[in-house]
Structure 1
Amino acid sequence: MTREYKRNGNVNLFACFQPLAGWRHMELTLSRTKIDFAKQMKNLVDIYFRSADVILWIVDNLNIHNPAAMG
Protein backbone atom coordinates (compact mmCIF):
# COMPACT_ATOMS: atom_id res chain seq x y z
CA MET A 1 0.00 0.00 0.00
CA THR A 2 1.46 3.33 -1.07
CA ARG A 3 0.25 6.62 0.30
CA GLU A 4 1.18 9.93 -1.19
CA TYR A 5 0.98 13.27 0.57
CA LYS A 6 -0.24 16.10 -1.61
CA ARG A 7 -0.15 19.66 -0.33
CA ASN A 8 -3.03 21.79 -1.56
CA GLY A 9 -1.65 25.06 -0.26
CA ASN A 10 -1.34 26.45 3.22
CA VAL A 11 -2.82 29.07 5.50
CA ASN A 12 -1.93 30.60 8.83
CA LEU A 13 -4.12 30.56 11.93
CA PHE A 14 -3.65 33.20 14.61
CA ALA A 15 -5.20 32.20 17.93
CA CYS A 16 -5.57 34.63 20.84
CA PHE A 17 -6.93 33.63 24.23
CA GLN A 18 -7.88 35.14 27.56
CA PRO A 19 -8.70 31.91 29.42
CA LEU A 20 -9.91 33.36 32.73
CA ALA A 21 -12.46 35.52 30.92
CA GLY A 22 -13.48 32.75 28.52
CA TRP A 23 -12.47 34.92 25.53
CA ARG A 24 -10.82 33.74 22.33
CA HIS A 25 -10.24 35.14 18.88
CA MET A 26 -9.16 33.17 15.82
CA GLU A 27 -8.13 34.66 12.51
CA LEU A 28 -7.08 32.91 9.33
CA THR A 29 -4.61 34.55 6.94
CA LEU A 30 -3.40 33.37 3.56
CA SER A 31 0.20 34.25 4.40
CA ARG A 32 2.54 34.18 7.40
CA THR A 33 4.52 37.40 7.30
CA LYS A 34 5.74 40.02 9.75
CA ILE A 35 2.93 42.26 8.51
CA ASP A 36 0.30 39.62 9.35
CA PHE A 37 1.75 39.21 12.85
CA ALA A 38 2.01 42.96 13.45
CA LYS A 39 -1.62 43.42 12.35
CA GLN A 40 -2.77 40.82 14.88
CA MET A 41 -0.80 42.48 17.68
CA LYS A 42 -2.16 45.91 16.71
CA ASN A 43 -5.71 44.57 16.81
CA LEU A 44 -5.12 43.11 20.28
CA VAL A 45 -3.88 46.47 21.57
CA ASP A 46 -6.17 48.87 19.68
CA ILE A 47 -9.42 46.87 19.51
CA TYR A 48 -9.72 43.99 21.93
CA PHE A 49 -7.74 45.27 24.95
CA ARG A 50 -7.52 49.03 24.43
CA SER A 51 -8.27 49.77 28.09
CA ALA A 52 -5.65 47.33 29.43
CA ASP A 53 -2.61 48.71 31.23
CA VAL A 54 -0.60 45.55 30.56
CA ILE A 55 -0.97 42.78 27.99
CA LEU A 56 1.00 39.57 28.46
CA TRP A 57 1.93 37.92 25.17
CA ILE A 58 3.09 34.35 24.93
CA VAL A 59 4.06 33.43 21.40
CA ASP A 60 5.55 30.38 19.77
CA ASN A 61 9.01 30.39 18.27
CA LEU A 62 8.24 31.28 14.67
CA ASN A 63 10.68 33.62 12.99
CA ILE A 64 8.06 36.35 12.46
CA HIS A 65 7.78 36.90 16.23
CA ASN A 66 10.59 39.34 16.90
CA PRO A 67 10.98 43.07 17.60
CA ALA A 68 11.58 43.81 13.92
CA ALA A 69 8.02 42.65 13.17
CA MET A 70 6.69 45.49 15.30
CA GLY A 71 8.58 48.27 13.50
Structure 2
Amino acid sequence: MPNRKEIERAIDAVFSETDLNRAGLKQRRALKLLDQGVWEGSVTPFYQARAEQRINSFLRTLWHEATIERVRNPQE
Protein backbone atom coordinates (compact mmCIF):
# COMPACT_ATOMS: atom_id res chain seq x y z
CA MET A 1 0.00 0.00 0.00
CA PRO A 2 1.62 3.28 -1.06
CA ASN A 3 1.55 6.00 1.54
CA ARG A 4 1.18 9.66 0.69
CA LYS A 5 4.92 10.39 1.00
CA GLU A 6 5.78 7.65 -1.49
CA ILE A 7 3.19 9.02 -3.90
CA GLU A 8 4.54 12.56 -3.52
CA ARG A 9 8.10 11.33 -4.18
CA ALA A 10 6.91 9.65 -7.38
CA ILE A 11 5.18 12.86 -8.47
CA ASP A 12 8.29 14.93 -7.66
CA ALA A 13 10.39 12.49 -9.72
CA VAL A 14 8.30 13.39 -12.78
CA PHE A 15 8.98 17.11 -12.28
CA SER A 16 12.72 16.54 -11.84
CA GLU A 17 13.07 15.18 -15.39
CA THR A 18 13.97 17.28 -18.41
CA ASP A 19 13.82 14.41 -20.91
CA LEU A 20 10.34 13.69 -22.28
CA ASN A 21 10.79 9.91 -22.49
CA ARG A 22 12.10 9.51 -18.94
CA ALA A 23 9.40 11.83 -17.61
CA GLY A 24 6.79 9.68 -19.35
CA LEU A 25 8.11 6.55 -17.66
CA LYS A 26 8.04 8.23 -14.27
CA GLN A 27 4.54 9.50 -15.03
CA ARG A 28 3.31 5.93 -15.43
CA ARG A 29 4.66 5.00 -12.00
CA ALA A 30 3.17 8.09 -10.37
CA LEU A 31 -0.26 7.50 -11.91
CA LYS A 32 -0.20 3.85 -10.85
CA LEU A 33 0.62 4.83 -7.27
CA LEU A 34 -2.12 7.48 -7.31
CA ASP A 35 -4.67 4.89 -8.45
CA GLN A 36 -3.56 2.49 -5.73
CA GLY A 37 -3.62 5.28 -3.17
CA VAL A 38 -7.22 6.21 -3.98
CA TRP A 39 -8.26 2.56 -3.97
CA GLU A 40 -6.63 1.95 -0.58
CA GLY A 41 -7.66 5.29 0.91
CA SER A 42 -4.28 6.96 1.40
CA VAL A 43 -5.21 9.86 -0.93
CA THR A 44 -8.52 11.38 -2.00
CA PRO A 45 -9.89 11.35 -5.54
CA PHE A 46 -9.55 15.17 -5.55
CA TYR A 47 -5.84 14.87 -4.71
CA GLN A 48 -5.45 12.32 -7.50
CA ALA A 49 -7.20 14.54 -10.05
CA ARG A 50 -5.15 17.60 -9.13
CA ALA A 51 -1.87 15.65 -9.25
CA GLU A 52 -2.78 14.21 -12.66
CA GLN A 53 -3.52 17.72 -13.96
CA ARG A 54 -0.14 18.99 -12.75
CA ILE A 55 1.73 16.02 -14.23
CA ASN A 56 -0.05 16.25 -17.59
CA SER A 57 0.54 20.00 -17.79
CA PHE A 58 4.25 19.47 -17.14
CA LEU A 59 4.46 16.77 -19.81
CA ARG A 60 2.68 19.03 -22.32
CA THR A 61 5.36 21.64 -21.65
CA LEU A 62 8.13 19.09 -22.27
CA TRP A 63 6.34 17.92 -25.42
CA HIS A 64 6.08 21.50 -26.68
CA GLU A 65 9.79 22.12 -26.05
CA ALA A 66 10.72 18.90 -27.88
CA THR A 67 8.49 19.84 -30.81
CA ILE A 68 9.99 23.33 -31.07
CA GLU A 69 13.48 21.81 -31.01
CA ARG A 70 12.55 19.41 -33.84
CA VAL A 71 11.16 22.30 -35.91
CA ARG A 72 14.32 24.36 -35.40
CA ASN A 73 16.64 21.45 -36.20
CA PRO A 74 14.91 19.05 -38.58
CA GLN A 75 16.70 15.76 -39.10
CA GLU A 76 16.30 13.93 -42.37
- What's the TM-score, normalizing by structure 1? 0.35
**Structure with greater strand share of residues:** 1
Q: Report 1 or 2 for greater relative contact order, CA contacts < 8 Å, sequence distance ≥ 6.
A: 2
Q: Which has the larger radius of gyration?
A: 1
Give 1 or 2: higher helix fraction: 2
